[in-house]
Amino acid sequence: MEEESDSRKINNSFLRDHNYATEADIISTVEFNSSGELLATGDKGGRVVVFQREQESKSQPNRRGEYNVYSTFQSHEPEFDYLKSLEIEEKINKIKWLPQQNAAYFLLSTNDKTVKLWKISERDKRPEGYNLKDEDGRIRDPSTITSLRVPVLQPMDLMVEATARRVFSNAHTYHINSISVNSDLQTFISTDDLRVNLWNLEITDRSFNIVDIKPSNMEELTEVITSAEFHPRQCHTFAYSSSKGSIRLCDMRQAALCDRHCKYFEEPEDPSTRSFFSEIISSISDVKFSHNGRYLMTRDYLTVKVWDLQMENKPLETYQVHDYLRGKLCSLYENDCIFDKFECVWNGSDSVIMTGSYNNFFRMFDRNTKRDVTLEASRENSKPRAILKPRKVCVGGKRRKDEISVDSLDFSKKILHTTWHPHENIIAVAATNNLYIFQDKVN
Amino acid sequence: MEVNAEARRILAVSISKLYASRTQRGGLRLHRSLLVSLVMRSARDIYHASRESEAPGAPTPQEPMDSSPSSEEQKQLPPQEAEPAQTEPQCALSPAPQTAVEAEECACDSEITEDKENMSPAARQSRKRRSKASAAPDFLPSKRARLEPGEERYAAPLGSCRVGASCITSCLFPHNSACCASL
C-alpha cells in the first residue's frame, strides 16, 4: 500500500492497474486554496495530499496548468481515548486553507476530535560548511578543527515539508463535523454535534464555546448541529445547520453565547411527502455561504436549496438532485446510503452550484439559465482531453439507449466531496479513492 | 397487514443498526443514532397504532403517521391517479375533494379494523401495560445481557408492550450518560 501513497489518479493522465480500494485511501475531503493554486485532499487514513498547479508555459499553451502532487503528509494518527474506551478515527473530516500571507502555505485539518494547523513550506537551499560536523553529519573530532568557517547556503533539490504548527485538542466531546476560518484570519470555529467552539489561531490551550445545544437531559435530544460556517465577509456572523433541516444565523456581537439566533431559516415540511424517513432526508448535510455573502446553500438528502439571507421562511431556489430516490428510501435506509452526507459547492461567481450523487454522478445547476447537467466521474468515460457526456437517469417506462435506470445505479459509488476553483472553471471531484479534476474545454 | 409488516421490518432494521453502531470504530455517532431513533419512534408509533383498536376519528397526531406508510404503499402501486378512486368507495366520504391524508387515514382505519378481527388472543392480551422490568421485550437489548449481532432475539416477534423513551435512549447514549458527570 505504501507504494500507492502518491499514485492518486490526477488529471486522468495515468491509470491504476487494479480496481480494489483500501479503505484508508478513501478520500474524505477536498479543498482548493483561496488562489486555486493548491488542492488538498484528506483521506480516511489520516493523510493529506496537496496538489499544485504547474505554471502555464508559453511553449505548451494547450497544457493548461495541470495539478501534480506537491506534498504528502500524515496529518492525524489513530488515537485511543482511555477514559471513554473509544478509538478516535484518524479520518480527515475537513481541510480549510488559510489565505496566503507569506511564502509558506497554511491549512487546518481536522479529524473527529483534534484540529491541526499545518505549515507547508519549500526548502531549496541548505547550509553547508558546518564547523562541528562534516558533510555526512558525523561529528568532527574537536581536536582536528583548526579554523572557523561560516556555513554557506547552497542550492539543493526542492523539498516540500509540512510541519504541524498548532494542535487544537480536547475541546470536543462529540465528533467534529466542520471547521471554518474567519475572514478576520485570526480565529476559526470547530463544530461538533452539539457545540461550536471559537479558537484563536495562535492559542491552542483555550477555546470559547459560542453555541451549545446540548439539553440538560440527553433523552430530550431532538436536534444536532450538522455543519457551521463563517460568513465570507462579516467576521461576526456565522451560520449553522441542523439535523432538522433548519439553519440559524448568529451574530457574535450580540452575546458571548450565541444560543439565540438572529435569523432562522426553515421551510415548512410538505405534509404530502411525509414518510418514515422524512426526518432523515431533511437533515442538512452541508451549508455554504455564497462568495458574495448574500446567499446560503444547503444540501439535504434529495435537494440543494439556495436561501436568500433576507428571507427566512422559504428558500429562494430548490433543485432536485436525485428525486427518483424518493421511492427507494426504505432500501436506502437498509443499506445505510440514506445517511450519506453530500457536500455542495458554489462556483467562483455564484452562478453555478454543484453537488454529488450516486453511481459517481455529480450534478451542476446553473442558477441563471435554470439548466442542469448530470456528469459522471469514471475512468472509462474520462480519457484525457475527452469531453464529458451528460448522463441521464431514466425514472420509469422506456429506457433510452444512453440512459441508466434507477435500479442499475451503483450505490457504492458515491460522490460526497467536491470543490470548485475560486476563479476558474476547474472542479475536483472525489469518487471513493479516486480524484478527478475537470477543466473547461480548451479551444 | 402491510403497514404493520413494514413498520416491524423498519423497527428490526433500526435496532440492528443501533446495535452495530456500538461496536463501530470511532465510537457512537450521535447524529446517526438520533436519526435511527427517530425512524424507530415513527415505526413504533405506527406499529402500536395499527395493533390497538382506534376509533375512526383518530387523534390528529396520528394523522401524519398514518399517512406515511400508506403514501409509501401508494408509490409502489401503478398510476397514482387510480389510488384516490380506490379509497373513495371504501370510505364512503363525500366525493368532494379529499385531502390525501383523509383518504389514507380511512384506508388505514379500515385496515386496522380488519386486523383487529384477525388478531390472535395472545397478542391482543398484551395491550396491558407492564412495568418496564418485567416487560423486557425480546427484541430490545437488555442492559444486563450482552447480545451478539444476529442472535435469535431479532427473529422473535415484536412484543407489543410500550417501549419507554428512556429505554431507547439508554441504548443510544451509554457513553454519554457516563461522561455527563465529567462535563
**Do residues A323 and A331 make contact, with C-beta atoms less than 8 angstroms apart?**
no
Question: Is B90 inside a domain boundary?
Answer: no
Interface mutation vs chain A, best among B23, B31, B172, most A CBs within 10 Å: B31
The answer to whether B34 contacts A243, with C-beta atoms less than 8 Å apart, is yes
CA distance, residue A29 to nearest chain B CA (Å): 18
Q: State residue A21's pLDDT score.
A: 59
| Per-chain mean pLDDT for chain A | 91
**Domain limits for position B46:** 2-51
Taking 70 as the pLDDT cut, the residues of chain B under it are 1, 53-183
Question: Is B9 inside a domain boundary?
Answer: yes
| pLDDT one-digit tens code per residue, A308-358 | 999 999 999 999 999 999 999 999 999 999 999 999 999 999 999 999 999
pLDDT at A196 over 80: yes
Q: Which three cell numbers stand for residue B166?
A: 428512556
Question: Is B23 inside a domain boundary?
Answer: yes
Using alpha carbons only, give the angle A321, A339, A284 rounded to the nearest 5 degrees: 60
Q: pTM for this one?
A: 0.75
Q: Average pLDDT, stretch A392-398? A: 82
Q: State residue B68's pLDDT score.
A: 38
Question: Is B27 inside a domain boundary?
Answer: yes
Radius of gyration of chain A (CA): 24
The number of residues in chain B equals 183
The answer to whether A333 contacts B13, with C-beta atoms less than 8 Å apart, is yes
Q: Which residue has the cell 470547530?
A: A190
Q: Minimal Cα distance from B29: which residue of A?
A: A175
Question: Is B128 inside a domain boundary?
Answer: no
Q: Which residue has the cell 368507495?
A: B89
Q: Which residues of A touch B166 (CB under 8 A)?
A: 219
Question: Is B29 inside a domain boundary?
Answer: yes
Q: Which three cell numbers stand for residue B37?
A: 431513533
**Do residues B108 and B127 make contact, with C-beta atoms less than 8 angstroms apart?**
no
The SS3 of residue A133 is strand
Residue B145: C-alpha distances to residues A117, B103, B135, B140 (Å): 45, 45, 15, 11
How many domains does one find in chain B? 1
Choice among A105-114, A141-150, A236-245 with the minimum mean pLDDT: A141-150
Question: Is B168 inside a domain boundary?
Answer: no
Q: State residue B141's pLDDT score.
A: 52
| pLDDT one-digit tens code per residue, A266-289 | 999 888 888 889 999 999 999 999
Q: Minimal Cα distance from B34: which residue of A?
A: A222
Question: Is B86 inside a domain boundary?
Answer: no
Which ipTM was obtained for this model? Answer: 0.86
Q: Average pLDDT, stretch A173-200? A: 97
Pairing outcome for strands A79-81 and A86-88: antiparallel
CA distance, residue B19 to nearest chain A CA (Å): 14
Q: State residue A134's pLDDT score.
A: 84
Q: Report the percent of chain A where pLDDT is more than 70.
A: 93
